[in-house]
Structure 1
């Protein structure tokens, strides 16, 4: 686990995970579950958007308090916050569209501007947008704000393409997946800036996950496969838990090896 050595305060650990294949797998599952879980709580349980939003926002605040208290990357705390912020980000957009009648075009543009402003203030303050140097509370606040707005933007953009533009969930998912593939090729073949490539891919995995989440959960007459939000959410929750356990065990083994090397 990367750490910044300082004489005054000791090592400062990076508070977010390294970008690996399992990072992208669990992130994609988290955003997919965020879409289906929000629908399950608001519709299937009959809580409604307002009550669901208030409850999940409260739970998210508790999860973020736990995450900030770690002062380092701890898999269960980090990914719990990601899953919950995915749900809340979805609910923010759903509230604007369904409760307040804001058009998806407007929400997509608005969250694009808000996210760009967040990045601009972050860079002006810290001179970097790198996720490899989230050593301070200030940087972590910027990081989680950006994550929240990527989820809200992704929800709006995914629904805009799939529903308003009537492209359907499958075609929308394939389209966003294709754009992510092009970004990946640009990174490896033409040296696209790594930080830019990461954030572009991170933003686009939200509508990708939302599209496939809706594809799996929505009724057949609405263009889905009809698995329902309950089963879809449980399947992805199980996969997320399994990956977090794996990450925790791997992190523990890595730290044990590092301590062994230092002792020698």
Structure 2
């Protein structure tokens, strides 16, 4: 993502910390999500899972620190943070199930409640959930907490539908494509706002 990929609001507010949400953004997001899932699975199942989680946790903290200390959207800091969130957020869900033995339905429920809580507090404190207003440290902290929770939730929910509900990975993938399509349809057909 380059400076030209920034939203209008980011051009008028130079401290905006997130890129414009475009088709390119979603392609990069899907690729980092797939990479995070594959990397997390490899590290948790083929190396020492405790060292893998600690090491990725430290890299995650470093990535978030770099991103948070930058003064505006900087592609390499932002996408490094996204990559580390994709790996570490996935590990959170995997370790919760594999190491701690928490069933997928319970971990999915816990991550869903955590996400709803983060969004409720964000809305209460900031009066908006718009990513186009992420230009203060507190809003950015809410943004990244939301992203981490969604990665953990996505991994747990995907594993739950694939394993516990016996949909398999293809069936789960199709289910989530359908679910992701609902807000897109609502946005374009029913004039639902982007938030």
Normalising by structure 1, report the TM-score.
0.69
| Paired residues for 1:12-161 under 5 Å | 12-44=14-46, 46-48=47-49, 50-161=50-161
SS in 2 for 1:155: helix
Runs (4+) of structure 1 exceeding 4 A deviation are: none
Q: What is the alpha-carbon distance in structure 2 between the residues aligned to residue 176 and residue 64 of structure 1? A: 28
Q: What is the alpha-carbon distance in structure 2 between the residues aligned to residue 4 and residue 120 of structure 1? A: 28
Instruction: Give the Å deviation of 1:160.
Output: 0.3
Q: What is the alpha-carbon distance in structure 2 between the residues aligned to residue 4 and residue 136 of structure 1? A: 16
SS in 1 for 2:18: coil
What is the RMSD of the two structures over their aligned residues, measured on CA atoms? 1.4
Gaps of 5+ in 1: 6-10, 196-264
Cα distance change on mapping 1:184 and 1:4 into 2, 3 Å: closer
Verify the 8 A CA contact 1:4 1:135 in the aligned structure 2.
Answer: no
Instruction: Give the Å deviation of 1:145.
Output: 0.4
Q: How many residues align?
A: 188
Cα distance change on mapping 1:184 and 1:163 into 2, 3 Å: same
Could you give the per-residue CA deviations for residues 147-205 of structure 1, whole angstroms, max 9, x where no partner exists? Answer: 0000000000000001111111111101111121232111100112311xxxxxxxxxx
Instruction: Give the Å deviation of 1:42.
Output: 2.1
Verify the 8 A CA contact 1:158 1:172 in the aligned structure 2.
Answer: yes
Q: What is the alpha-carbon distance in structure 2 between the residues aligned to residue 153 and residue 133 of structure 1? A: 24
Instruction: Give the Å deviation of 1:3.
Output: 4.2
SS in 1 for 2:45: helix
Verify the 8 A CA contact 2:19 2:73 in the aligned structure 1.
Answer: yes
Verify the 8 A CA contact 1:162 1:168 in the aligned structure 2.
Answer: yes
Verify the 8 A CA contact 2:10 2:132 in the aligned structure 1.
Answer: no
Could you give the per-residue CA deviations for residues 96-120 of structure 1, whole angstroms, max 9, x where no partner exists? Answer: 1111111100011111111101011
| Paired residues for 1:2-21 under 5 Å | 2-3=9-10, 12-21=14-23
Gaps of 5+ in 2: 1-5
Structure with the greater alpha carbon radius of gyration? 1
Normalising by structure 2, report the TM-score.
0.92
1:176 equivalent in structure 2: 176
Cα distance change on mapping 1:173 and 1:84 into 2, 3 Å: same
Higher relative contact order, chain-length normalized (CA < 8 Å, sep 6+): 1
